[in-house]
Amino acid sequence: MSPPNRIRRHRPGVLSAVIVLLLVLTGCGGGESGLSGDTGQASEVTGEFDWKRFDGESLRLVFNQHPWQEAIEPLLPEFEELTGMTVEVESLPEEQFRQRVQVEMTGRSDSLDVFMANVQNEGAKFAANGWYTDLRPLAENPAVTATEYAFDDFSEGVIDGHTFAETLVGIPIQLETQMLFYRTDILQEAGVEVPRTFEELEQVAEAIDDPDGTRAFVSRGAGAAAVTQIATYLFNYGANWTEEGSDTAAFDSPEGVEAIDFYSRMISSYGPQGVVNMSWEEALPLFQQGQVAMYTDASTFMPNILEESTEQVSGNVGFAKMPAGPAGEFQTFNGWALGISPFSPKQNESWYFVQWATSPDVVARLTEEGIAGARESVEFGDAYPEDWVTAFTESLSEARPQLPKVGPVPEVRDAIGTSIVSAIQGEPVEPAVQESAEQFNSIVESAGGG
């Protein structure tokens, strides 16, 4: 009885056939760019605009857990009633959200229709990979766009910021600047004024810090998440992400090192423990619960602070622009948009959702909820704290993008983040920052090929 040998001899043949077949299949798949066939749908639709055109269809939306998402979810039944479509929403915490979308894009999932996009972060990469549907043809097609949509209401600058190589990758749903949130009662008690410069910020922090009670200051410390926050500090110290006109790292300049040193000093000396693991999900509740007195983060958290904090906090919170640094006062902005997956077989249906969510009516209502949209015509109502409106509008008018304009942003965020983490943990700042800069350069270089 020695059948094994016979079997073994036959197997290689079958196996190699299978292998070759699979390799061929995947090799073909990789080169396929005929997916543009899907977006061809966009221009196929003609006729009168009708909200109920796609009655009975369903959409799958993947959202990042975010104030905007929280505000729009209660309104979704209205969309369903208006169009007759059903929507299925999946909202995930930021990191899982990002990975989810990337995995589905790499897997060319046809079950993803609309997703939130943080264009400053992944826009360049997604666009290079062809992972956005061009929304311009959709917006310009009167058969699928209501006349009231008023596409021109979005400022040219903002639309430009969302355009990569002629493709309009998303419609902005929300803009945010970086802001300083502070407890008016605590500052008053200590007899100090709202800090207008970084120097003052540190002085105030020292005056109000209570190691056994309310700490003075918190901001994100979790590596990549902190990179957006640190931008304003960098700029106000006179540093830049990259050299003018090139992709070479410039944040390891003496000014940049100073900025990072200051930032990490502030959060490690005047803040709670464990800050290296904190993104906004962890830092925001601390402010809301009254455990820290000052917090710098995105302006978009204002409604959360006002509505979800303890009474003492929500009754005594002030909003201010980011303090100025030795090199001046620069403000930064970021924002989210809605994008449509090119692999979705429901291009027009998805556009209906994007359109509805960014329509003047919905944006106005979201603005009432405290979400600052991107439409120029919408004004802030009386419910908005005056100091917030002032801080926001003034910042926005002169704001610079928070993130560096390179291709592999997520990867460089990780690289820059390590220096922040090292600095917080007390390691020498300059060598850490220089190493980050080196990594930054090598990442950008090797990604250059696409």
Partner 1 sequence: MAIAYDPSSAQWSKRARTAGYYLVVALVMLPFLFVFYYMISTSLKQPLAITAPDFQWLFTPTLDNYREVFVANDFLTFTVNSMIVAVGSTAIGLFIGLPAAFVIARYRVPKLALVILSARVTPGITFLIPWFIIFSQLRLIDTYSALIFTHLLQNLPLMIFLMISFFEEIPDELIESAKVDGATTQRTFWSIVLPLAKGGIAASAILGFVFSWNHFMFSIVLSGNDTRTLPVAVFNFMSFGSINWGAITAAATIMSLPVILLTLTVQRHIVKGLAIGAVKG
Partner 2 sequence: MTATEQQPRPGPLATNGGPPGGPQPARTRRRQVSELVDRHIVGVFMTPAVIFVVVMMIVPVAFTIWLSLHSWSGGANSTPTFIGLDNFAQVLTGDPRFWDALRRTFYFTILAVVVETFLGVAIAVLLNREFLGKGLLRTIFLFPMIATPVAIALVWRLMYEPSLGILNDILAAVGLPTSTWVADQSLVIPALALVDVWEWTPLITLITLAGLSALPADPFEAAAIDGAGRWQTLRHITLPMMRPVIVVAVAFRLIDALKTFDIIYVITQGGPGFASETLNLYVYTQSFQYQNLGYSASLLIVFFAIVVGSAVLLLRFRRAGE
Which parts of this chain interact with partner 2 (CB under 8 A)? 1, 3-4, 6-7, 11, 14-15, 18-19, 22-23, 26, 30-33, 35, 95, 98-99, 102-103, 105-106, 108, 125, 128-131, 222-223, 272-277, 342-343, 408, 410-411, 414, 417-418, 421-422, 425, 439, 442, 446, 449-450
Nearer to partner 2, 35 or 82 (CB): 35
Q: Which does 110 bind (CB under 5 to 8 A by kind): partner 2, partner 1, none?
A: partner 1
Please list the residues that pair with 176 across neighbouring strands.
334
- Per-position DSSP letters for 260-287, written without gaps between them: HHHHHHHHHHSS-TTGGG--HHHHHHHH
Q: Which does 418 bind (CB under 5 to 8 A by kind): partner 2, partner 1, none?
A: partner 2
Q: Which does 276 bind (CB under 5 to 8 A by kind): partner 1, partner 2, none?
A: partner 2
Q: Are 112 and 344 in contact (CB under 8 A)?
A: yes
Q: Which does 343 bind (CB under 5 to 8 A by kind): partner 1, partner 2, none?
A: partner 2
Q: Helix (H, G, I), strand (E, B), or coil: what is residue 181?
A: strand
Least Å from the CB of residue 213 to partner 2: 14
CA-based nearest residue to 231, from 431, 443, 438, 412: 412
Least Å from the CB of residue 410 to partner 2: 6
Least Å from the CB of residue 445 to partner 1: 24
Residues that bind partner 1 (CB under 8 A): 1, 4, 22, 25-26, 29-30, 60, 65-66, 70, 88, 90, 92-93, 96, 99, 103-104, 106-111, 281, 284-285, 288, 304, 308
Least Å from the CB of residue 396 to partner 1: 24
Q: Which does 411 bind (CB under 5 to 8 A by kind): partner 1, partner 2, none?
A: partner 2
Beta carbons within 8 Å of 123's beta carbon, 6+ residues apart: 117, 162, 164, 169, 170
Nearer to partner 2, 58 or 425 (CB): 425
Least Å from the CB of residue 328 to partner 1: 34
Residue identified by tokens 């209570």 is: 210
Rounded Cα–Cα distance for residues 286 and 292 (Å): 6
Q: Which does 90 bind (CB under 5 to 8 A by kind): partner 1, partner 2, none?
A: partner 1
Residue 107 neighbours by CB distance under 10 Å: 10
Least Å from the CB of residue 195 to partner 2: 27
Q: Which two tokens stand for residue 310?
A: 């303890």
Q: How many helices, marked H, and strands, marked E, lie in the chain? A: 20, 11
Least Å from the CB of residue 402 to partner 2: 19
CA-based nearest residue to 404, from 211, 228, 159: 228
Rounded Cα–Cα distance for residues 356 and 366 (Å): 12
Q: Which does 88 bind (CB under 5 to 8 A by kind): partner 1, partner 2, none?
A: partner 1
Q: 284, exposed or middle or buried, with CB in 10 Å at 0-12, 13-18, 19+?
A: buried
Q: Are 419 and 429 in contact (CB under 8 A)?
A: yes
